Structure 1
Amino acid sequence: MIIPERLTGYSVFRNGVERLGTSNVELPNLESLTDTVSGAGIAGELDSPTIGHYGSMRTTLNFRTIENGMLKLAAPKNHALDFRGAQQVYDSASSEYKIAPVRVSVRGIPVTTTLGSLETNADTGSSIELECTYLMVMVDEIKQIEIDKYNYIAYIDGVDYLAAYRKSLGL
């Protein structure tokens, strides 16, 4: 049995090659768009998700200082970012620790640039928040999630939940 333990390190890359130095990243949440359903045959009401449709997905990169890589992300255009990490896992069958790669890729447009504050002997608390139009999560080099809002893709655990939508819409 593989027991995931922790992320032991990660790097951030812009456009696949330019390494950015961040102190931490807050990844987006997947929150389904919902509508309240009620009526005959339903005891009350429920919030029914629209399959494959998600609300705002935001990613925040928190920087320790004001730096060039951060300021490049403030440009009002779509940025492609890759977060590549190494996760420590314990393999109970072999009684060994192993490293499993994890990769999160986002494409997004900056919505908030926080320069932070200037204080002697302290970090600045600078950050960039991006509205994500695309998200892909790979664990152990296997694609687990791909959300592409502009191309009607909602792939989770081997199923593209928007494939029938694309066919119906002629996309």
Structure 2
Amino acid sequence: MNVPEKLINFRVYNNGADLVGSADVTLPKLNAMTQTVKGAGIAGEIDSPVLGHYSSTEVEINFRTIDKDSITLASPKGHHLDIRGAQQVYDSSTGEYVVKKLKLVVRGVPKTDDLGKLDVGATTDTKLTLECDYIKLTIDGKTEIELDKYNYIANIGGVDYLADVRDALGLN
């Protein structure tokens, strides 16, 4: 049995360049867009998700100090981030640790740029938030999530929930 334990470490790349200044990353939340459904035959209200559509999705990058990397990402244009990690998994049948590759690709534009604070002997806690229009999560080479808002792709666990929508809209 494989027991996922922890993230060993990760690196962040912006258009192929390593962001060595990054301290941590807050990954996007996938909140489905909803519409309240009520009426005859329903005992109350239901917030019904809109198939394959998600509210604002953000990735947040926290820097220890204000540096070139944090300023580069603040430029008002699209950025392509490649976040690569190594996850530690314990294989209980062999008693050994296994490393699983984690890769998250996000594409987005800056939404907020918090320069942080200045305090003697402390980090600035500089924070940048990108609004993501594209997210792709791969684990050990297998795509688990791919959301592409502009191209009507909502692939979760190998099922593209917007394939029929693209077909209905004449996009295939």
| Shorter-chain TM-score above 0.5 | yes
**Residue of structure 2 equivalent to 1:128:** 128
Structure 1 partner of 2:168: 168
Please, what is the CA RMSD of the aligned residues? 0.7
Measured after TM superposition, the shift of residue 139 of structure 1 is 0.9
CA distance in 1, matches of 2:73, 2:170: 35
The CA distance in 2 between the partners of 1:39 and 1:118, in whole Å, is: 55
Q: Does 1:4 align with 2:23?
A: no
Structure 1, unaligned stretches of length 5 or more? none
What is the SS of the residue equivalent to 1:23? strand
- Number of positions where the alignment pairs a residue of Structure 1 with one of Structure 2: 170
Deviation, 1:119, is 1.4
Structure 1 residues 74-132: Cα deviation after superposition (integer angstroms, max 9, x where no partner):
11111000110000000112111111010111001001111111111100010110000
SS in 1 for 2:22: coil
Q: Distance in 2 between matches of 1:116 and 1:66?
A: 8
**Following the alignment from structure 1 to structure 2, what is the Cα–Cα distance between the partners of residues 101 and 130?**
24
Equivalent-residue separation in structure 1 for 2:93 and 2:167 (angstroms):
44
Is the aligned partner of 1:22 residue 2:22? yes
For 2:112, the equivalent position in structure 1 comes to: 112
Where in structure 2 are the equivalents of 1:151-162 lying within 5 Å? 151-162=151-162
TM-score (norm: length of structure 2): 0.97
After TM superposition, which residue ranges in structure 1, 4 or more long, deviate above 3 angstroms? Answer: none
1:50 aligned residue: 50
Match in the other structure for 1:64: 64
**1:99 is matched by which residue type in structure 2?**
V
Identical counterparts, % of pairs: 51
